[in-house]
Amino acid sequence: MQKLIAGLAMFQARLFHAQRPLFERLARGQAPETLFITCSDSRIDPCLLTQTAPGELFILRNAGNLIPSYGASDCGASATIEYAVRALGVKDVIVCGHSHCGAMQAVLDPSTLADLPAMASWLGHAGAPADGLQATVQANVVAQLANLRTHPAVLTRLQRGDLRLHGWVYEFEHGTVQTYDPDDQSFRHLLPDLTAAG
């Protein structure tokens, strides 16, 4: 905890001061263009990954980056999605799974959930297990994109043609992102891997 308080002190002393105009502007309202849905995993940092500033991403996080079908669970996800899509009018929704996801590992091996009844129940919203962890992570992203479409606010915007859905898998150990291509129903690297060199 001491580390966090020292970090807060450093933030106030250096970063906040340098970016004060941004924070003062944000006090008047937010207009994020993207809803970013990802896992609670501590190794994932959406703003670091996308190099975005406060005010740019509306973020929904939970174990396994799950989006229960509309009406299936009163977990707050529906409210967050509705607010982002209908009130804030985000233009893009990204569902971002990740490599080495513990939640997806548990989907593959439910015996790890013996003492975690809430997690076991929550993972009922996950995609079906596939052949291996990476394939399960990918299949889950695709399943959550389908669940997203059951939300009326999302469906309305999709029908209007002014909302785009994206499925990502972030491989944090490589710094790379794979994106889902619905046309050939497979994942491919979003960018050439620039991290490999050097």
Which of the stretches 10-18, 41-49, 114-122, 140-148 binds Zn ion when contact is defined by CB under 5 A? 41-49
The window from 20-28, 52-60, 101-109, 160-168 that contacts Zn ion (CB under 5 A) reads: 101-109
Exposure string (b/e) for 27-59, b if CB count within 10 Å is 16 or more?
eeeeebebbbbbbebeebebeebbebeeebbbb
Here the tokens at position 56 are 């740019």
What is the nearest approach in angstroms of Zn ion to the Cβ of residue 63? 7
Q: Which is nearer to Zn ion, 90 or 101 (CB)?
A: 101
Q: Which stretch binds Zn ion (CB under 5 A): 19-27, 103-111, 141-149, 177-185?
A: 103-111
Contact string (CB under 5 A) for Zn ion, positions 153-192, x = contact: ----------------------------------------
With CB under 5 A as the contact rule, the residue among 39, 67, 85, 163 that binds Zn ion is: 39
Find the binding residues for Zn ion in span 67-96 (CB under 5 A).
none
Is residue 123 involved in binding Zn ion (CB under 5 A)? no
- CA dist 147 and 70 (Å) reads 7
Binding of residue 60 to Zn ion (CB under 5 A): no
Does position 41 bind Zn ion by CB under 5 A?
Answer: yes
Spell 2-26 as b/e; 16+ CB within 10 A means b.
Answer: eeeeeeeeeeeeeeeeeeeeeeeee
> Which residue among 101, 133, 153, 163 contacts Zn ion (CB under 5 A)?
101
The residues that touch Zn ion, with contacts defined as CB under 5 A, are 39, 41, 101, 103
